[in-house]
Amino acid sequence: MAAAGGAAGEDARRSVRVVRFGDPSGVVLARERVRAPRGNDVVVAVTHASLGATDVLARRGGYVFQPVPGFVTGYDFVGVLESESAVSVALGLRAGMRVAGVLPRMGSHTTLLVVSPTLLVAVPDGLDPASAAVAPLDAVTAALALQLAGPAPRILIQGVSGPVGSIAAQLAERAGRTVVGTASSPVDGVATIDYRDPDWPARAVEAAGGPFGAAIDHTGSPRVAETLSPDGTLVHTAFAGRRGHERGDSLRGSARAAVARHPRERVCSVPFFVLRHRPAYRRMLSGLLADVAEGRLRSARPQTFALDEVWDAHRAAEGAEPGRKVVLELRAG
Ligand SMILES: NC(=O)c1ccc[n+]([C@@H]2O[C@H](COP(=O)([O-])OP(=O)(O)OC[C@H]3O[C@@H](n4cnc5c(N)ncnc54)[C@H](OP(=O)(O)O)[C@@H]3O)[C@@H](O)[C@H]2O)c1
């Protein structure tokens, strides 16, 4: 195992790279050098990393922050800290500890990461690494979307059977809010409206007992506005409603959201949050992992694939059943 000093070198790590947009055949496993840590950077031996909707979208070439072919997939990860620095020690992160994090740009599907320790938090004792790995990106997305949504007592959560929607619903209910979700089949513990019903906006308002003060949406559907009160807030986590148009829809939708007044619209971007609000991101992620470890938050159940099965992992992520999330096992950890 390459450690901090010995990390740079031939074949030091294996990475999942997308070399051609499209189906999983455009994914390769590359052996490559690792840059030596600079300044306060630390080395993380990645053991597990989630593979979800954003990775599939980026593989197809439709992601709003689309990297050019040759990029490494993955935003979040769990691993073991292989080295330490003055900053990591100041943050309480010592070599040998289990850590988790979200990157501000894709690249976590690799066996060795050289990163700033300010991206990392400790994984609570007792939380197994695959279960920890499903949480960082999705839980931070859900928590950030709720923060942007504000304190409205009634909230609509689109895609409540998905990993992000499910966590958002739990956090909102825990805060005493009335939650109605949309999905194609009922979700345990949440009033669920079938989004295929042409009258779904009216049905959602009826189920909530009145118009919503906030909605979290990943589809970009203009119909979400029908569910909101005039002073409501619409939070976009994605604009994924029209397959093959996601990138253009995201760019247009984000531009519209910047000037929208009734309802007020906000774009939830975890990469931007991680980049610009590091202490808040770390506090949020630590709290959410503690919630998962202590059973206050139910995250998706991991469906694990070995690194050599990454193509199967991509196929599984395209049709993950409700309540499951694909996790790549990068090393036995
Ligand atoms: N903004 C960020 O920083 C950020 C970070 C992470 C993820 N995301 C995005 O957040 C979104 C949700 O993530 P996820 O992992 O939970 O996604 P996911 O696994 O793709 O789940 C999608 C959910 O949407 C539902 N759905 C499908 N079509 C719908 C429609 N027309 N109307 C309403 N709901 C519909 C699905 O329900 P059924 O299964 O019942 O069909 C499912 O519950 C994704 O688009 C992802 O790319 C954004």
Q: What is the CA(26)–ligand 1 centre distance, in A?
A: 23
Considering the domain architecture, whether residues 34 and 154 belong to the same structural domain is answered as no
246: CATH: 3.40.50.720
Q: Identify the bridge partners of residue 48 per DSSP, sorted by sequence position.
A: 78, 329
How far apart are the CA of 325 and the centre of ligand 1, in A?
A: 12
The residue-averaged pLDDT of 38-53 equals 97
243 C-alpha vs ligand 1 centroid, how far in Å? 12
- For residue 106, tell me if it sits in a domain: yes
Q: Do 321 and 251 belong to one domain? A: no
Last residue in a domain, options 268, 295, 321: 268
| Judgement on whether residues 298 and 286 belong to the same structural domain of the protein | yes
Q: Which residues of 128-153 are buried (b: 16+ CB within 10 A; e: fewer)?
A: ebbbbbbbbbbbbbbbbbbbbbeebe
Q: What pLDDT sits at residue 263?
A: 84
Res 11: pLDDT: 53
Query: At residue 110, what is the residue type?
Result: T
**142 in the same domain as 264:** yes
Give dist(CA 64, CA 52) in Å, integer.
Answer: 15
- Lowest-confidence range among 7-11, 35-39, 200-204, 271-275? 7-11
Q: Is 25 in the pocket of ligand 1 (CB under 6 A)?
A: no
Clarify whether residues 288 and 215 are in a common domain: no
The rounded Å distance from CA 192 to ligand 1 centre is: 15
| Residues 220, 170 share a domain | yes
- Regarding whether 161 and 254 lie in a shared domain, the answer is yes
Residue 1 has pLDDT above 50, yes or no: no
Q: What is the residue whose two structure tokens read 């709003």?
A: 64
Do you find a cis peptide bond into 263, omega within 30 degrees of 0?
yes
Looking at the domain assignment, is residue 7 inside a domain? no
98, 79 Cβ separation under 8 angstroms:
yes
User: What is the arithmetic mean of pLDDT over 8-18?
Assistant: 80
Tell which atom from ligand 1 comes closest to the C-alpha of 267: 1
Q: Under 8 Å CB-to-CB from 322, ≥6 apart: which residues?
A: 161, 162, 183, 185, 187
Q: Note the pLDDT of residue 333.
A: 39
Cβ of residue 195 lying under 6 Å from some atom of ligand 1: yes
State which of 268, 297, 320 marks the end of a domain: 268
Q: What tokens were used for 275?
A: 């980049």
Nearest-10 Cα torsion for 16, 20, 25, 27: 0
Question: What is the average per-residue pLDDT within 138-155?
Answer: 97
Strand partners, 225: none
User: Both 33 and 83 in a single domain?
Assistant: yes
Instruction: Give the CATH number, domain containing residue 300.
Output: 3.90.180.10
Ligand 1 neighbour 218 (Cβ under 6 A): yes
Find, among 128, 1, 47, 79, the residue nearest to 332 by Cα: 47
Edge-to-edge strands of the sheet including 228-236? 191-194, 178-183, 154-157, 212-217, 228-236, 264-267
Average pLDDT over residues 47-55: 97
For residue 154, the 8-state DSSP code is E
Neighbouring-strand partners of residue 236 = 217, 267
Question: Does the C-beta of 187 come closer than 6 Å to ligand 1?
Answer: no
Ligand 1: centre distance to CA 239 (Å) = 9
User: Structurally, how many domains does the chain consist of?
Assistant: 2
270 lines ligand 1 (CB under 6 A): yes
Per-residue pLDDT of 194-250, as tens digits, reads: 999 999 999 999 999 999 999 999 999 999 999 999 999 999 999 999 999 999 999
Domain contains 65 = yes
What is the pLDDT averaged over residues 172-200? 96
Cα→Cα distances 212→164, 207, 220, 234, 294, Å: 19, 11, 17, 10, 31
Going by CA atoms, what residue is nearest to atom 13 of ligand 1?
A: 164
Whether 4 is in a domain gets the answer no
Find, among 8, 69, 71, the residue nearest to 38 by Cα.
Answer: 8
Domain check: are 21 and 64 in the same one? yes
Do residues 73 and 35 share a domain? yes
Work out which ligand 1 atom sits closest to the CA atom of 237.
1
Q: Is 240 in the pocket of ligand 1 (CB under 6 A)?
A: yes
**305 vs 70: CA distance, rounded Å:** 22
Range of the domain at 144: 138-268
* Residue 317 pLDDT greater than 70, yes or no: yes
* Residue where one domain finishes, among candidates 245, 268, 291: 268
On average, the pLDDT of the chain sits at: 94
Q: Do 21 and 129 reside in the same domain of the chain?
A: yes
pTM: 0.95
